[in-house]
Amino acid sequence: MLKTSPRKYVAEEIIQRNNINIVGHGEETLLLAHGFGCNQNMWRFILPYLCEKYQVVLFDYVGSGRSDFSAYQQDRYHQLEGYALDIIEICDTLKLTNIIFVGHSISSTIGWIVSVARPDLFSKMVAICPSPCFLNLGKEYQGGFEKTDLENLIQLMNKDYIGWGNYLAPMVIGKNLPQTEQSSDNETDTLLQELLTSFCSTDVTYSKPFAEATFFSDYRNMLPSVTHPCLILQSSNDALVAVDIGKYVQRNLQNAKLEIIEANGHCLHMTHPMHVLNAIKAFI
């Protein structure tokens, strides 16, 4: 159950707080939600094409990108429901309903939280490399990581923030894996540097609670309650989210389609934007 914010924001405050940008024209609206450690600029590879046919809403979660960091509330953003509340307040401020939600990574889970709390806001959902739980929880579920490994990763954020970024960013972007036909080492290095800069430019005060909420949460039980049609776009070689997780999500959602894209890494919208664009257009 989502708790309402103790403070009531006016529209102008929310637009500034979440660095909201509205581009494109069309009868249908897409809301693009970035993943942990990222920002709205990372949608730029597919944005020009979406703007040709749709109205697109871009934003940064509080504590990310160019959001208003002074609006950060520790008790709100230590769990994913706080970020879900950002989305609800954005939609209500802009008077958006029945929109198409596109979430990358943990934003897929955040979107599912919103869809259950406020089903009127979405008509369809797109989840790019989603995971309802990153933890290995016995034979019944292997999310990819042992709890102790994730705890060590979080501790590294305190001890060596740059070292933490240097460890995580290559894993996320798919560095040191055989390159696909659609990408090159130079392109991967450029995206890696961008991701590393994004990770390390945010103060650990804001990024650590988001990391803990991302990697230690378990929202598997929520999946059957999601009623919206959902397209799952899964990378064939993702160090964070295995293909089996994509299949798990598809089985547990009420109405889901899974499309596996031959690619490395966790950021398909950056490394394989045209695949993602075409899949979204076909789904819509």
Residues forming the active site: 105, 238, 266
For 256, the enclosing helix (H) or strand (E) is strand 256-264
Q: What 8-state DSSP symbol labels residue 128?
A: E
Which residues, including other chains, have CB under 8 Å from residue 95's CB and lie 6 or more apart? none
Specify the DSSP class assigned to residue 122: E
Do 31 and 102 meet the contact criterion of CB atoms below 8 Å apart? yes
Give the separation between CA 230 and CA 124, rounded to whole angstroms.
6
Burial environment of residue 67 by CB neighbours within 10 A (0 to 12, 13 to 18, 19 or more): buried
Integer Cα distance of 244 and 248 in angstroms: 6
Q: From the centroid of its chain, how far is CA 20?
A: 16
d(CA 253, CA 77): 26
264, HSE (Cβ side, Cα atoms, 13 Å) = 19
Helices (H), 46-184: 47-51, 80-93, 106-117, 147-159, 161-173
In angstroms, how far apart are the furthest CA atoms of the chain?
A: 50
* Alpha carbon distance 5, 119 (integer Å): 19
The residues pairing with 33 across neighbouring beta strands, listed in sequence order, are 103
Rounded distance between C-alpha atoms, residue 102 and residue 264, angstroms: 20
Q: How far apart are CA 133 and CA 130, in angstroms?
A: 9
